[in-house]
Structure 1
Amino acid sequence: MQGQKSVKSDAPLPPGLAAREAAVRVIAAVLNEGRSFEAAAAKQFEDYGLEGRDRGLARLIAATVLRRQGELEAILDSYLQKPLQKQKSLLWPILLAGAAQLLFLQMPPHAAVGLAVDQARRDRQAAHFNKLVNALLRRVSREGAEALPALDGVALNIPQWLMARWRENYGADTARKIGAASLAEAPLDISVKSDPQAWAEKLGGTVLSTGSVRLAAGGRIEDMPGFSEGAWWVQDAAAALPAKLMGDVRGKSIVDLCAAPGGKTAQLVSAGAEVTALDLSPQRIERLQQNLARLGLSAETVAADAGEWAPERTFDGVLLDVPCTATGTIRRHPDILRLKRLEDIAALAEIQSRLLDQAAKLVAPGGMLLYCTCSLDAEEGERQIARFLERNDQFQLAPIKAGESGIAGEWLTPRGELRTLPFHTPSLTPGHATELPTGEQGKLVGMDGFYAARLVRQS
């Protein structure tokens, strides 16, 4: 990382230090360089050779800082006599990571503080602040937990522009609920090829009303039963709904636009559709192919721009999951809080409009266009579809009904569009709930914020 050189040594690192150094560099890459969390994490995990538990620890620390940055900075700043320069070295990310471990991850103070001091000493620009790091974090460990409850986490962690949009779209009370739910860690949902109840029992999870299986247990996904055999794939319960809304697709030709990493493609193929999966990035198409291969599924794949792709044919159904601000997935991608800007909405809405118009040309008469987005903003959802219908009289909205695919009435707009919010939770299917370990109930709450509209071509 340019301008952030560490002191090199051949001596083995103390236990836990490599994971914490990787976490700090991920934090710095996101906050100082504007890089995505996933891209930064992939690089640092490889650079530090992290595996298994160390990789999980680094990810947890970095994600917690990105999720709770406002509260962490409020407490750290309150103990400083004069402000620190926050973008010049690894010093501020080290302090944020240390405070996150103490306040939110309940890690032992001797480990969190001691290893943070080691990190400061190893960074040339932060080394002369090692005593400050020690003093500040020791004070956080003594006093921070008592100061935390007095802070307004929603106001401090959610950007003002984003809260303003949520208030405009949903009202003040719902906006607060969205904000609070977005700061929670997401549960792990999976879609299974068959027999969700059996896999729920085998994996210690529960079957949701929507058909997804929600897991309470942690651990490496790759080590869980059924992963290597291709019995299931990771997919949030809300993200699994759009493909189900296409109905019985057996024998039908379906094109999945913007398809990678392939969860919806896998659903459609498993349901018997003849699927063409398209994505702009050849690298993402390769990842999709790898995912399908693990699952023992196959689909035609195309690397192309969905806004320009014009095959000499039409399809029975088109699934369009558009690029968006992804504000419904903050629980999984907390870097969205730090990287997205108000102006992104208008720029993405233009792209979505272009993709919609091109997707419409691919739908055969009587066929279906399923538009979906993981944005919570109406400009990318309800208003986008309203404008599309105004300029495309060949299409009509086919309302989604409560109970369909386990959908609750509160997840639907008055016009019959799907609109899930992060505090919505699918109910447990009667007779399909397994007993969860004590303390695990909280991990079953919420789902991604998602919007979907089902459109049918009349002629």
Structure 2
Amino acid sequence: MKKQKMPPGLGLRIAAAERLAEVLKGANFVPFSATEMPDGRDRAIANRLVTTALRRHGQLDFAIARYLDRGIPKKSGPFEALLRLCLSQLLYLPELGDHSALFLAVEATKRDTRSQHLSKLMNAVLRRAQGEAHFLRGLPAPSLFPERLGLLWIKTYGEGSLEGMADALIDGAPLDLTVKDADASLVDALKASPVIADTVRVATRDSAVDMLSGYAEGRWWVQDVAAAIPARLLHLTAGAKVLDLCAAPGGKTAQLIKAGYAVTALDNDAGRVERMAGNLARLGYSADLVVADGLIWEPEAKFDGVLLDAPCSATGTFRRHPEVIWHRSAADVAGRVALQRRFIAAAAKCLNPGGVLVYCVCSLEPEEGEEQARWIADTIDSLEPLPVTAEELPGLEEALTDEGFVRTLPGMPVPGENGGTLDGFFVARYRRR
């Protein structure tokens, strides 16, 4: 049998559909690498199609429900993933062309034995969506999020905040770097602008991160502006002993070392600790690295400060990981809340009297943030609040709550000429009595 010729663009869409199908089943999205897809243009299109489908997941759900009364047919192979990819192109990436979206979707469906009987259905759905493209593009902000999270965030942060989050979800995350040393020439070479303290934001880049100016020399590391806030709030004297609990991949560890502290960085995953060691080596930094379970680990001596970036639902990172908001259930959050409380109690026991604990999560769920702070106040007598002040958040004063906590939202604008938003974080600070 003669092998079918592959039309241009078909192979990358088949590969993209396979990758998206994995994410729909619960995997995290890993962009295609040059090894997997050597052609740079194909790789860029494939990654863009998948990320657009993930960012527009809620709106695509609406469209699929509108045009498929019985939902996605069972045992249909790549049909759903192909449909989502090609709806994304048709509705939200018009520069890639309507014709290729329609033709390649049908062609890819025909070439898979599990879905070839659905090629006419694929064409019909895409044609109907094409006719209602203006309506579908105008769906309101809440449609971008799971109903449970959308309602919770409106109740907690206000409807206006959800609009900002929707914009942040569609726009994605810019590249933020924490620089080792202030150097205007490096910032210029990176096409970046200062944001807060030692964070700079790259405006545009046309190469991989490890090809940017200063990478090989270890002059900076990648770290979102929100993720860089917690480590700055310890305010200890140089040489103070600090424990970075749940430390990998090491961005906050690097901040603590840069601040002049004697740092112990702990994580329970040996592979992650090994990667952290490599990251620190590139920067010319060193710390006491420990592979252990932080819930039961007992230090030989207590610390002057503990930074606890606790395991969490990570819903605040949806700008770069849009799939996370569709993978988290209320039960998932409840499980993480219980784990966080055990970590908080363990962290408090590692502190010297007068020592400082900074607790943070990259989560938008109040159960993991504000409600945890109330739990600490009611449960752990050894800790007293140490409120954060507006002077510690120049340009981000709106992130400061009345209680002295830090609550960043993905829709919040950041200072600096490059603009943009930031990850969702909650930060609370305490002192051991």
From the superposition, tell whether residues 52 and 286 of structure 1 become closer, same or farther in structure 2 (CA, over 3 Å).
farther
Matched, 1:424 2:399: no
> 2:204 is matched with which residue?
217
Equivalent in the alignment of 1:453: 428
Q: Alignment length, in residue pairs? A: 431
Match of 1:311 in 2: 299
Equivalents in 1 of 2:127, 2:383: separation in Å?
A: 63
Partner of 1:22: 15
Q: Aligned residues: percent identity?
A: 40
**Residue 184 (1) aligns with residue 177 (2):** no
Q: Following the alignment from structure 1 to structure 2, what is the Cα–Cα distance between the partners of residues 222 and 14?
A: 34
TM-score (ref. length: structure 1)? 0.86
| Structure 1 counterpart of 2:126 | 137
The 3-state SS of whatever aligns with 1:34 is: coil
TM-score, normalised via structure 2 length: 0.91
Q: Using the alignment, how far apart are the partners of 1:11 and 1:290 within structure 2?
A: 46
Q: What are the Cα deviations for residues 138-167 of structure 1, in whole angstroms up to 9, with x where unaligned?
A: 554x43432224422x22221111122213
Tell me how far 1:395 sits from its aligned partner.
Answer: 1.8
1:186/1:447 contact within 8 Å kept: yes
Asked if 1:411 corresponds to 2:399, the answer is: yes
How does 1:338-377 map onto structure 2 within 5 Å? 338-377=326-365
Question: For 2:110, what is the secondary structure of its paired residue?
Answer: helix
1:233 is aligned to 2:226 = no
Matches within 5 A, 1:40-79: 41=31, 48-50=36-38, 52-79=40-67
Offset at residue 420 of structure 1 (A): 0.8
> Cα offset for 1:357?
0.3
For residues 335 and 71 of structure 1, the distance between their equivalents in structure 2, rounded to whole angstroms, comes to 14
Give the counterpart of 2:149 among 148, 154, 162: 162
The CA distance in 2 between the partners of 1:393 and 1:223, in whole Å, is 49
Matched, 1:384 2:384: no
| Amino acid paired to 2:146 | P
Distance 1:197 1:418, change over 3 A: farther
Change (3 A) 1:175 1:82: closer
- 1:16/1:244 CA distance change after superposition, 3 Å: farther
Partners of 2:164 and 2:28 lie apart in 1 by 26
Look up the SS of the partner of 2:56 in the other structure.
helix
- Structure 1 residue 115: Cα displacement: 3.2
Shift of the 286–448 alpha-carbon distance from structure 1 to 2, 3 Å rule, reads same
C-alpha separation between the residues in 1 aligned to 2:74 and 2:134? 25
Q: Relative to structure 1, is the Cα distance of residues 364 and 86 closer, same or farther in structure 2, using a 3 angstrom cutoff?
A: farther
Partner Cα distance (2:390, 2:278) in 1: 35
Using the TM superposition, name which of 414-423 and 160-169 deviates more: 160-169
Cα-Cα RMSD? 2.6
Distance 2:39 2:394 in 1: 38
Pair 1:109 & 2:98 matched: yes
| 87-96 or 444-453, which deviates more | 87-96
Matched residues in 2 for 1:305 and 1:291: separation? Answer: 21
The question of 1:35 aligning with 2:27 is answered yes
Equivalent pair of 2:192/2:203 in contact (CA under 8 Å): yes
Question: Shift in Å at residue 284 of structure 1?
Answer: 1.3
Structure 1 residues 216 and 285, CA gap change in structure 2 (3 angstroms): same
Q: 1:76 to 1:351 in 2, by over 3 A?
A: closer
Amino acid at match of 2:109: A
Query: In structure 2, do the counterparts of structure 1 residues 87 and 245 end up closer, same or farther at CA, with 3 Å as the change threshold?
Result: farther
Pairwise CA distance, 1:387: 1.5
Opposite residue 300 of structure 1, the aligned amino acid is: D
User: C-alpha deviations, 1:144-191, integer Å up to 9, x for none?
Assistant: 432224422x22221111122213322344344434434431221111
Matching residue within 123, 126, 132 for 2:112: 123
Summarize the Cα distance change of 1:222–1:307 in structure 2 as closer, same or farther, 3 Å threshold.
same
Matches of 2:44 and 2:241 in 1, distance apart?
40
Return closer, same or farther for 1:339/1:246 CA change in 2, 3 Å cut-off.
Answer: same
Report deviation, 1:134.
4.1
Q: Unpaired segments of 5 or more residues in structure 2?
A: none
